[in-house]
A and B are shown apart, each in its own frame.
Chain A
């Protein structure tokens, strides 16, 4: 029996276990929207910790991060920096959003925002931006799954088939289980990921260089440019500080705003659960350290992977690791892509229907859940098709998604904290910011100091929000009940 047969066996065992957990968890919640989207608000601390960690710790961390360390050196430190910085606002935003969610029955961000700023256009824009940001993020996760399969089976399972297999499983449990399935599979996936990350990160530098210090000494002697901040750009030239800092800032601002993470506020059991999840979040960020070390270990290695995103599987296969460890890595990496991908698919479909369709066309409860499942399939299918034909770098996909998601931040902060902001102000900011962000995304050469398009969009967004709100005389007071909560009350918890 060849090695890749054993590895494939381990991976299939992992996929089956995930499927089982996902389907089993899905049977325990109610069948209405609150059951499907918000899992009847049942998650305790353990589940929430892994749900948040598993959701944020994605294929990007497992493959893209080491890929950056390998090809762009300390530029990858931005990935370490933004996570903890970006999660802090959630300590305050999360419980506040959760309280509004409980009072008004919100299950999405746009419902919360339009509860304060009543506007169906606003809801529609939120839905469009969310889905637009989710598609590249889902593509990233699918490519990641494909890369893992293709690398460890020596190309016997091509990228399209690997991505298809992993996401076939994801779609099945998201379809039948909803938020609850996503949560409980993430607990399992989170544990697998953590074990895999630490074993690999400590073992590989020791095996190849006799330790982490000696490894960096060698890199510094031979490739000093990799260890000088801000590292290198995609073409191997020294990176620009404007690009480094603004990419970091854009990611930090976007992190707590990501709808799939933010919507967890509506699934948490209590405010204390949300706060404790934030407190424990930096421990997840520390798991990136061993993964980056594996990327650095590849720098002086005698063979090179087909592309930087393959560095982690490449190192594992080329260093003659025991087959079981290779299998564990695959399961860990797949867990990372799937635990984010499932939340994204589920989030994208929920948002598309709740915010994009429901405010315009009344849909009865049962039909809404069915439509949501249709959307999981179609958004998943679209992302899969794009992932196969496009094959962009993993980090590029994530960075472009952040540019879009950042634009939701001012509206959310205004909803929770501003008394002066008006609906027109928020709308103007959102539209102006998004257009600016798209413009610079399409014309990267025009960006001043190579600043990330998300930040440029935010400058316009916040300026318009403040100015238009100030000019706007029709100041809308805080409403006690929202439009959405009156016609869409929460389902009773069974």
Chain B
């Protein structure tokens, strides 16, 4: 994957992130059930997006470093 593609995908993930945590995108995920890893679903949902954001950023940085040599 090129850095350019990684940045595009990364920005796409962050756009989804923004939708997924704001009203109304967050509504389907705003209840407490089911519990995941001991956390209420809404709590897990927010943590999940932090992890996805981290992965997107890591991919962007890894491809940039590879291209820069």
Contact = CB atoms under 8 A, between A and B. Distances in A.
A249 B22 contact: yes
A85 B30 contact: no
Contacts of A282: 50-51, 53-54, 57
Given A213-B38, A249-B22, A88 B57 contact: yes
| Secondary structure of the B contact surface, majority rule | helix
Task: For chain B, give the interface size range.
Answer: 20 to 34
A230 B24 CA distance: 11
Given A81-B49, A85-B14, A220 B61 contact: no
Contacts, number: 92
Contact of A216 (B14, B32, B47, B53): B32
A88 B39 contact: no
B61 A227 contact: no
| Secondary structure of the A contact surface, majority rule | helix
Task: For chain A, give the interface size range.
Answer: 35 or more
Nearest to A241: B23
A88 B9 CA distance: 13
Contacts of A244: 23
Interface in B11-56: 11, 14, 17-18, 21-24, 26, 30-32, 35, 37-40, 42-43, 46-47, 49-51, 53-54
A283 B53 CA distance: 10
Q: Report the 7 A-B pairs with minimum CB-CB distance, sorted nearest first.
A: A213-B38, A229-B30, A212-B38, A282-B54, A227-B32, A84-B53, A241-B23
14 contacts: A74-B32, A74-B42, A77-B42, A80-B47, A84-B17, A216-B40, A220-B40, A224-B32, A230-B23, A276-B61, A282-B50, A282-B51, A282-B53, A286-B50
Interface of A: 74, 77, 80-81, 83-85, 88, 91, 211-213, 215-217, 220, 224, 227-230, 241-242, 244-245, 248-249, 252, 272, 275-276, 278-279, 281-283, 285-286, 289
